[in-house]
Amino acid sequence: VPFCIIADHKTASIVIVIRGSLSVRDLITDIAAASCLFEPPGVPPGTMAHRGMIIGARTIMRQMDQYKILEKAFATYPNYSLTLTGHSLGAGLAVLLALLIRPRYPELRVFAFSTPAGLLSREAAK
C-alpha cells in the first residue's frame, strides 16, 4: 500500500499519509476481512482485527524500520510530533500502524477518515 512521510512545518509534525483503496491489490487487502489476533502492547488481550489490514500495517512498519525513516525525520526535526492519517483502507492501516508504533511514539495522533467497519474488536476500538 503506498504511503508517504512528510514534514508539515506549519503544524510542526511528521505526518504518515496512507492512501486508500485504488488498485486491484488494495481491493484484495480489503476483501481479506477475516479477523486475526492483534495484540500489540497497550491493546486489550484477545483483540481481533482485519487480517488484510494487519498485514498491510506490519508491511509499512517493516519498510519504515528497514530504512529508519522516522528516526531520520526526528533527527532532522526533533521537536516535531507524529501524526498518521488515511482514508478508507488508508484509515484502517493508519489506526493499526499507530497501535504498532505507539510504544515508540506514545504521543502520536491519528486522523482516520471513513475507517472500515470491523477493523478492530469493540473493546480495542474504544
pLDDT at res. 71: 98
Our CA angle for 14, 2, 125, nearest 5°, is: 70
State the pLDDT at residue 39: 96
pLDDT band at residue 102 under the 50/70/90 scheme: very high
Domains of the chain: residue spans and CATH: 3-125 (3.40.50.1820)
Confidence band (pLDDT; 50, 70, 90) for 33? confident
119 pLDDT above the threshold of 90: no
Give the pTM.
0.92
CA distance 114 to 62: 25
- Cite the DSSP H helix spans in the chain: 24-31, 51-67, 69-76, 89-101, 122-125
Helix H or strand E segment including 8: strand 3-8
Distances (CA, A) of 3 to 47, 109, 111, 112: 25, 17, 15, 14
What distance in Å separates the CA atoms of residue 24 and residue 8, rounded to the nearest whole number? 31
| Banded model confidence at residue 24, pLDDT cuts 50, 70, 90 | confident
Answer yes or no: is pLDDT of 73 > 90: yes
Q: What's the pLDDT score for residue 124? A: 83
Average pLDDT taken over every residue of the chain: 92
pLDDT-above-70 percentage for the chain: 95
C-alpha cell recorded at residue 18 = 496512507
CB-CB contact of 112 with 119 (8 Å): no
Q: Which three cell numbers stand for residue 3?
A: 504511503
Spatial distance between the Cα atoms of 14 and 79, rounded to a whole number of angstroms: 10
